[in-house]
Chain A
């Protein structure tokens, strides 16, 4: 804008920068502390932000290697962090695959087919998002307790139960996929239909290859969603070896068992990749964001 700016403008810019810098400091401060704590020796030592001496004991702890503690003795880690990370990855991969399978097909029907009750299905999916699983924890626990007495492999304290419990949460992904399918031209599929393809072939051979980018994004979002899920996992899993990272991490910062340094290392190890992947995937979900999806 080619307008003569008043003199107060410069002061306003300085004030805005000061405010933004202060806020950025408040945002970055926790992460810097965590990085510093993870490299500081001992779980209780509190010192300057730039550690005076660097120790890798917390990183060794997190990786499950024997480490030399504050008392000078070589000890083995008591919390199986790598095991938890592996559990989380296992559950999240299975759950993302199931979610993708269920939501790609459902959203195909919702985007491309005409049938009675379509609007109701869409509204129902929207409404489901308003009632998070945390409200039905008692029932989820009771249901898997019952399932477990018939099929022990799907009961409490199994990862399969967690994958099953997550498989219902497809509402947001169905909306994302449906939105993307609708941006793809339907004419190609129609041409395939004219050439004698069944609806399944049109879906499998024509639409899916075109939708590959969004399938990857939905997979990643479902994967992250399962990794960071806490309430259901905390109810279904109780044995220490079975926990996912989100449930297990809590054990580090217990009042009587304050593993501050070990937690810091574990947080960076698991949080950094998730954050990076999320930052890469999130530009795809801004539209989903505005539709009312809120991340936990």
Chain B
């Protein structure tokens, strides 16, 4: 670093500052103020870190810590924030954007439609002719170039007329050149529709016409008229829609709401729904109880099996221990998404191999995916299958650290394996194992991948308004609220996520207390 001359370092720093400011400006221009702010702060910190002489360690920490803060910590805080808003598929935009979209909505002024034909002129130029129609005289444009079609913008139909308007004049006017060619066929017209859509024509009376349909130009007007007090009035029906900032909608006196709505803060509403509204509370409680039961039973089952295996594999009288250990480690090494999907196939009611065997042995074909109790049992079986090797490895390590002379002493007094296990192994590994079991509990509490890939939370509870399944964990329940049902209720989902944060934080706290005690001993 010191090899570089000072002027070069200053120039580089200045260039970096200029480039980042330019990017921040670009982002701000797209209306993403929050994002621009985050970028600005990030860039400012980066420039300070790499120019100040007092930041020796931060230079190495900055990229990693910044990435962790932006993509791990910030999403968590942002989730908490979204939990206090009505963010959902009906309230996606901010107020200004929603209002602009409503004001951009346009309708054809009734009775102004006029058929048109396109007449080719010299070169690529064309003339538009509006033949006489319902007592209005025939009008025609001078030859002009059709505008180039721009990239389709679905958000702004009808009102996207670009370029200067083309003036129409009466066909009888002395300046109007005579018509020399035959008009385009329908097919040609359709081909040029994107260009025609951008065209604005002005009549001699000053009215502006735009394309209204395949065959007609017409006068357009915006559907809603903005009033002094900020409300919008529907020009066709005369209904007034007042802005309702508590709900995030423009609503009429009768309660009709205009789409789209906009994002507003709703305070603690989602939390009230989850904890006191019966139709939300019951599925939430049922999902919560199953989540706790699922993680508890998984950890108990996997730990018991893992401990048993670890003890067996430490038994020196047993041969082939290395081979057993390798095979039993396999479920941990195979990517989770593959083994879970394999089990999804194996447990298939009619085609799966599990039912094939059960049918051959006992003549039964259990409905693993449609019976709630069986589906839960299946989840536990699969998760213990996935989780016991990890427990086996952990317990193995802990058992190895037990001094061998303890077992020799017990052999001298003639103790059997059961006594060895309950009096020596278990008491000695219980303490160091507990924090690991707690973190396994926390991990399974949020075991989204298993539930999402195996059952998707189904079979569903029949009596709930929001989709909630009998095998849903809190995380997969949240995911369904946010991404699966048609409402995309991000706000509600984020509120439930916040509740999960608190639960996980509590579990972590307990674990840290235990680990600290362990460290003190």
Contact = CB atoms under 8 A, between A and B. Distances in A.
Interface of A: 1, 3, 5, 9, 12-13, 16-17, 19-20, 23-24, 26-28, 30-31, 33-34, 37, 44, 46, 98, 101-103, 105-106, 108-110, 113-115, 118, 121, 125, 127-128, 130-143, 146-147, 149-151, 164-171, 174, 198-200, 203, 224, 227-228, 230-231, 234-235, 246, 249-250, 252-253, 255, 258, 260, 263-264, 267, 270-271, 274-275, 278-279, 282, 286, 289-290, 292, 294-296
Contacts of A275: 330, 333-335
B61 A109 contact: yes
Nearest to B382: A30
A137 B474 CA distance: 13
A30 B504 contact: no
27 contacts: A13-B318, A20-B312, A33-B342, A33-B346, A98-B67, A106-B63, A130-B504, A131-B504, A134-B446, A135-B475, A141-B490, A142-B490, A143-B78, A150-B35, A168-B68, A224-B335, A228-B336, A230-B448, A230-B453, A235-B483, A250-B341, A253-B341, A267-B338, A267-B341, A275-B335, A282-B333, A290-B436
B500 interface: yes
Most interface-central of B34, B58, B64 (chain A CB within 10 A): B64
Contact of B393 (A20, A37, A286): A286
Given A174-B64, A230-B337, A9 B317 contact: yes
B61 A260 contact: no
B497 interface: yes
Contacts of A235: 483
Interface in B312-337: 312, 315-318, 324, 327-337
A178 B480 CA distance: 39
Contacts of A26: 385
Interface of B: 1-2, 26-27, 30-32, 34-35, 56-61, 63-65, 67-76, 78-79, 82, 87, 309, 312, 315-318, 324, 327-339, 341-346, 348, 351, 353, 356, 369, 385, 390, 393-394, 397, 408, 411, 417, 435-436, 439-440, 442-443, 446, 448-449, 452-453, 475, 478-479, 482-483, 490, 493-494, 497, 500-501, 504-505, 507-508
A181 to B, nearest CB: 12
B312 A139 contact: no
Nearest to A247: B337
A126 to B, nearest CB: 9
Contact of A290 (B82, B394, B505): B394
A146 to B, nearest CB: 5
Given A24-B327, A113-B56, 13 more contacts: A30-B339, A105-B63, A110-B61, A121-B61, A130-B439, A130-B442, A133-B75, A135-B501, A149-B31, A168-B70, A171-B72, A246-B337, A252-B341
B426 to A, nearest CB: 18
A271 B327 contact: no
Most interface-central of A27, A121, A203 (chain B CB within 10 A): A27
A271 B338 contact: yes
B75 A170 contact: no
Given A121-B65, A139-B79, A260-B345, A164 B353 contact: no
A77 to B, nearest CB: 18
Contacts of A19: 312
Given A106-B60, A138-B494, A127 B508 contact: yes
Contacts of A200: 1
A258 B348 contact: yes
Contacts of A234: 452
B446 A132 contact: yes
B75 A140 contact: yes
Contact of A294 (B56, B356, B440): B440
A263 B75 contact: no
Nearest to A249: B341
Given A121-B61, A125-B68, A146-B32, A271 B335 contact: yes
B345 A263 contact: yes
A138 B490 contact: yes
Contacts of A137: 478-479, 482-483, 497
A294 B341 contact: no
B76 A135 contact: yes
A125 B67 CA distance: 12
Contacts of B35: 146-147, 150
Nearest to B55: A115
A9 B385 CA distance: 29
B32 A27 contact: no
Contacts of B335: 224, 227-228, 246, 270-271, 274-275
B315 A16 contact: yes
Nearest to A200: B1
A115 B56 contact: yes
B341 A260 contact: no
B343 A30 contact: yes
B300 to A, nearest CB: 16
A128 B68 contact: yes
Contacts of B348: 258, 260
A260 B494 CA distance: 36
Contact of B76 (A98, A131, A294): A131
Most interface-central of A46, A101, A142, A250 (chain B CB within 10 A): A142
A275 B338 CA distance: 11
Most interface-central of A34, A137, A147 (chain B CB within 10 A): A137
A253 B32 contact: no
B72 A169 contact: yes
B482 A138 contact: yes
A125 B30 CA distance: 34
Contacts of B343: 30
B394 to A, nearest CB: 7
Most interface-central of A44, A118, A134, A200 (chain B CB within 10 A): A134
